[in-house]
Amino acid sequence: MKKQARSTPSKQWTQPAAVPLVRVRRAAGAVSRGWLIAGGRAIPVALGRGGILANKREGDGGTPRGTFRPLRLWWRADRGPRPRTALPIRAITADDAWCEDPASRHYNRPIRRSSAGEGDRLMRDDHLYDLIIEIDHNTRPRIAGRGSAVFLHLARDNFGPTAGCVAMTRPNLMRLLARLGPRTRIAIG
């Protein structure tokens, strides 16, 4: 009789395979609430106060309709361990901000805050930006006034509307991070 080979489980931690597509849809009857569907799981999200808009403009409070790629994770090292993800990671520093000025050549890009304090500060007192997934909305080409600083980030306790981002609870964002890769597509709308 032939002996059967025993299979031994790998002792190495393996990251789950990246999901190819993440969908974000508006919830029925709620402009600023929605659902994010990834890998067969649906999680509640907060959307922009203007709902999902096809013609996104700076300051309209809308979450842009379209298909985007996750570019990198911005992470507050002082507020939690480094998350597991296949995305590039950058630690947020006190000088990090995002340019929201359509007249600036740095519009919709990360910048270093000057003493004048321009830009949307990434190191906030609240926890909304403890984890930020940067997406490629309005990046190639960048068009002044078509919207900036659209991220996936943490939601307010009351799941209040965002300024145009997609927000969720920390446990759900952590689960999502483990399943995102550079080739994942995020379809909003």
Lowest mean pLDDT among 2-6, 60-64, 68-72, 97-101: 2-6
- Give the position of tokens 């490629």: 136
Amino acid at 162: T
Predicted TM-score (pTM) of the model is 0.89
- Cα–Cα distances in angstroms (integers) from residue 9 to residues 3, 14, 15, 178, in the given order: 19, 11, 15, 21
Listed residue (133, 135, 107) closest to 122, CA to CA: 133
Q: What percent of the chain has pLDDT over 90?
A: 86
Active site residue 165: yes
What are the beta bridge partners of residue 134? 72, 151
pLDDT of 120 reads 84
Give the span between the Cα atoms of 167 and 179, in whole angstroms: 17
pLDDT of 10 reads 42
Residue 151 · residue 122 · CB < 8 Å: no
Residue 99 · residue 30 · CB < 8 Å: no
pLDDT tens column, 43-54: 999 999 999 999
- Give the position of tokens 């700076």: 58
* Tally of CB atoms within 10 A around 166: 26
Locate the domains of the chain by residue range: 21-188
Superfamily (CATH H level) for 21-188: L,D-transpeptidase catalytic domain-like (2.40.440.10)
pLDDT of 60 reads 97
pLDDT of 75 reads 97
Active site residue 153: yes
